[in-house]
């Protein structure tokens, strides 16, 4: 073989080997993108890398969507000078709770029923004191809290015995969309 044909043959091999060399070196570059765990993709620039979750649904917003809302309810206690009382709970508005408690108080025959306490999204307790010290009412996150607070108010009034006359909690309900 002549020198010219060997040179031509060698350059043909180089041309054929060049794609193979590129393919062999490329996996190290491609593998650098796989530094994140499954379900995440690489973010950040040169020298500062990180991973971010792949958005669900393809809309770019992976946050959960609400399926409804909690509706908080009202309650009320109405009392009269004669000792009659009326209560309401789980009403959508304060006005509804007030109206119902006054109507229930009046149903006992009292003509002077007035709202003594309204409450929303919580519990209430009414505690009777001895020796004419009246009734003490208070609210709390739980029935136990409300009873404890009303009992403390009763004892501060000078009563030796304090008995729970009424306790209840307003109950929120879930409205589905």
- pTM given for the model: 0.62
Residue ranges of the domains in the chain? Answer: 3-57, 72-176
Extended beta strands in 32-134, E state: 40-43, 50-53, 68-71, 74-79, 85-91, 114-120, 123-129
Stretch 52-63: mean pLDDT: 66
Dihedral sign from CA coordinates of 115, 120, 125, 130: negative
Percent of the chain with pLDDT over 70: 77
14-48 tens-digit pLDDT: 556 556 556 655 554 444 456 788 888 888 777 77
In this predicted structure, what is the pLDDT of residue 166?
96
User: Considering only 53-57, 92-96, 151-155, which range has the smallest mean pLDDT?
Assistant: 53-57
Decide if pLDDT at 80 tops 70: yes
66-77 tens-digit pLDDT: 899 999 999 999
In this predicted structure, what is the pLDDT of residue 40?
83
Provide the greatest CA pair distance for the chain: 130
86-136 tens-digit pLDDT: 999 999 999 999 999 999 999 999 999 999 999 999 999 999 998 778 899
In this predicted structure, what is the pLDDT of residue 131?
76
Stretch 139-168: mean pLDDT: 95
In this predicted structure, what is the pLDDT of residue 31?
46
State the residue for tokens 């999204």: 121
Start-end of H helices in 32-172 = 94-106, 143-156
């Amino acid at each position: 073989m002549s020198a010219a044909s060997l040179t031509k043959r060698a350059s043909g091999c180089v041309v054929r080997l060049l794609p193979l060399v590129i393919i062999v070196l490329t996996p190290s570059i491609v593998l650098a993108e796989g530094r994140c765990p499954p379900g995440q993709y690489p973010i950040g620039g040169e020298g500062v890398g990180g991973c971010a979750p792949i958005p669900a649904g393809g809309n770019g917003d992976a946050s959960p969507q609400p399926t409804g809302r909690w509706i908080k309810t009202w309650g009320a206690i109405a009392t009269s000078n004669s000792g009659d009382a009326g209560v309401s709970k789980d009403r959508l508005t304060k006005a509804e709770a007030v109206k119902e408690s006054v109507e229930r108080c009046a149903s006992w025959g009292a003509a002077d029923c007035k709202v003594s306490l309204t409450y929303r999204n919580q519990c209430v307790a009414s505690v009777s004191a001895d020796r004419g010290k009246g009734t003490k009412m208070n609210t709390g996150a739980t029935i136990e809290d409300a009873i404890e607070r009303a009992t403390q108010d009763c004892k501060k009034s000078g009563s030796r015995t304090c008995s729970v006359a009424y306790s209840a909690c307003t109950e929120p309900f879930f409205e589905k969309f």
